Amino acid sequence: MRTEAPATPLELVARSIRPSSTTVHAWLLLLPAMTLLALFTHWPALATFIDSFFSTPRPKRGATFVGLENYRQIVDDPIFWQALTNNLLFAIGTIPVSIGLALLMAVWVNDRIAGRTLVRMAYFTPTVLPMIAVANIWLFFYTPQYGLLAQLLSAFGGASYNWLGSKDTALLCVTIVAVWKEAGFFMIFYLAALQQIAPSLGEAAVLEGASRWYFFRRVQFPLLMPTTLFVLINAVINAFRTVDHIIVMTRGGPDNATSLLLFRIYELGFAFWDTSAAAALTMVLLTGLGAIALAQYIFLERRIHYR
């Protein structure tokens, strides 16, 4: 259809000169995106790093260099350790449960059960709703005396309990909301992966007399490994950047029992206006998230190469 003439010497020369103009063109194309990236990613990251070594500027006294003082303050701050512990517990609570549930949901929806479209919709719906909106609904759900949970319990003779107001249960309550919100999101990746597994594998396994559990454990699950890794990285990142429901439901309380790292940054920066402490804590969080995202990038590149 298309005729490709061999390159003439003149064209070859032209091509060898071209890079300079190509470079200019390419950078012109990149300019708008690069400007915004510099302004809202590169500069703030650098400025946060620098600010973390200075004191917070106050009206009467400007910022002074304080070395590692802000970091020392973080280490000495019991609320930081509490927020870190909470965040790790929150991560340990949300990651395995939401991934496990996502896998279960995907396996169920993948089998041709009656009404699977409706079931899939029910699982996925929380994903499209704003976290802030569903947090309000869950807040009502947990409310003592009036809430659905309290009503259900009183029907069985249980006493009313302030689930979000108690240090023992508040973190668990916000963890459940996060699991509920993201399990359906992870389900769709498993569903897609399950549908890519060739039917002949199942048929062959049946002929070999393998049990369904054996087939899942030795064939399906290993084939789902890349998906699991992908979902895992996303779940970890979500566990460290999801704070909308904390702001709505508990504001970090009671007594910092539900304070997470990003919430603590928000609190330090915008409630106490201690921007230097917030900057140092941001650096701590960024270091952690950076390591995770790097793993994700390496994984994404690989996934695309092997496709």
Site for other proteins in 258-277 (CB under 8 A): 262, 265-266, 269-270, 275
Residues in the chain, total? 307
Among 11, 43, 75, 81, contact with other proteins (rule: CB under 8 A): 43
Radius of gyration for the chain, computed over Cα atoms and rounded to the nearest angstrom: 26
Contact status: 298 vs other proteins (CB under 8 A) = no
Given a contact cutoff of 8 angstroms between Cβ atoms, the answer to whether 245 and 239 are in contact is no
End-to-end CA distance of the chain: 29
Contact status: 148 vs other proteins (CB under 8 A) = yes
One character per residue 213-252, x = contact with other proteins (rule: CB under 8 A): --xx--xx---------x---x--x---x-xx--xx----
Part in contact with other proteins (CB under 8 A); list of ranges 62-70, 71-79, 87-95, 145-153: 145-153
Q: Which residues of 19-48 are buried (b: 16+ CB within 10 A; e: fewer)?
A: eeeeeeeeeeeeeeeeeeeeeeeeeeeeeb
The least CB distance from residue 283 to other proteins, in Å, is 10
Q: Within 49-88, which residues bind other proteins (CB under 8 A)?
A: 51
Among 54, 80, 163, 185, contact with other proteins (rule: CB under 8 A): 185
The least CB distance from residue 76 to other proteins, in Å, is 20
CA distances from 55 to 26, 68, 286 (A): 41, 10, 20
Residue 46 DSSP SS3: helix
Beta-carbon contacts of residue 256 (< 8 Å; ≥ 6 apart)? 79, 82, 83, 86
Contact status: 102 vs other proteins (CB under 8 A) = no
Backbone angles phi, psi at 65, to 5 degrees: -70, 125
Q: What tokens does 233 get?
A: 């990285």
Residue closer to other proteins, measured from CB, 191 or 257: 191
Judging by beta carbons within 10 Å of its beta carbon (0-12, 13-18, 19+), is residue 8 exposed, middle or buried? exposed
Residue closer to other proteins, measured from CB, 170 or 274: 274
Residue closer to other proteins, measured from CB, 88 or 176: 176
Q: Which stretch of DSSP H or E encloses residue 173?
A: helix 170-196
Contact status: 33 vs other proteins (CB under 8 A) = yes
The least CB distance from residue 250 to other proteins, in Å, is 12
The least CB distance from residue 45 to other proteins, in Å, is 5
Q: Within 123-142, which residues bind other proteins (CB under 8 A)?
A: 123-134, 136-138, 140-141
Contact status: 153 vs other proteins (CB under 8 A) = no
